[in-house]
Amino acid sequence: MPPSSPDHLSATFAALADPTRRAILARLASGEASVTELATPFAMTLPAVSKHLKVLERAGLIARGREAQWRPCRLHAAPLRGAAEWLEAYRRFWEDGLDRLDDYLRSLQRDGRSKAPAKAGPKGGAKGGPKGGPKGSKHARKN
């Protein structure tokens, strides 16, 4: 399955949804580690950490090796690249929108209209709101 396919993205984002798994990935970014080493900073059992590692492994984010008695875990960053590429389109969308807003605000400042016009009271002026509405309106207080 290609790294940016929807099913692979779902597995990647599901694995990243948990803060413990994100912390494990951050640790593995500095080099391989055993399950015991990965479990050290967490207040959980080794089997609980192993379950997190299985989720990361199924998502393709880590691989577990075998070197004699030691089973090191290694980071595999390819699925993260697929997620980053998917998110990139949305980053561009937001940046484009913010750039347009910035251009608009600068044009208002250039034109001397940087202040917003005075806001009228709710529904027709000062007396039309829920506290000061005329008697008989749907907003009038009932005593």
Q: Is residue 37 in some structural domain? A: yes
Q: Beta 73-75 vs 62-64: how paired, if at all?
A: antiparallel
DSSP symbols for the chain:
--TTSHHHHHHHHHHHTSHHHHHHHHHHTT--B-HHHHHTTSSS-HHHHHHHHHHHHHTTSEEE--BTTB--EEE--HHHHHHHHHHHHHHHHHHHHHHHHHHHHHHHHHTT--SPPPPPPTTTSTTSSTTTPPTTSTTS---
Domain that holds residue 98: 1-114
Q: Is residue 36 in some structural domain? A: yes
Q: Is residue 32 in some structural domain? A: yes
Provide the greatest CA pair distance for the chain. 86
Number of independent structural domains in the chain: 1
pLDDT, the chain, mean:
81
Q: Is residue 58 in some structural domain? A: yes
Q: Is residue 26 in some structural domain? A: yes
Instruction: Using alpha carbons, list the distances in angstroms from residue 56 to 11, 46, 75, 88, 98.
Output: 9, 15, 9, 22, 35
Q: Is residue 31 in some structural domain? A: yes
Q: Which of 13-17, 92-96, 137-141 has the lowest mean pLDDT?
A: 137-141
Q: Is residue 121 in some structural domain? A: no
Q: Is residue 86 in some structural domain? A: yes
Residue 40, domain CATH? 1.10.10.10
> pTM for this structure?
0.62
Mind listing the pLDDT tens digit for each residue in 53-69? 999 999 999 999 887 77
Mind listing the pLDDT tens digit for each residue in 65-81? 887 777 899 999 899 99
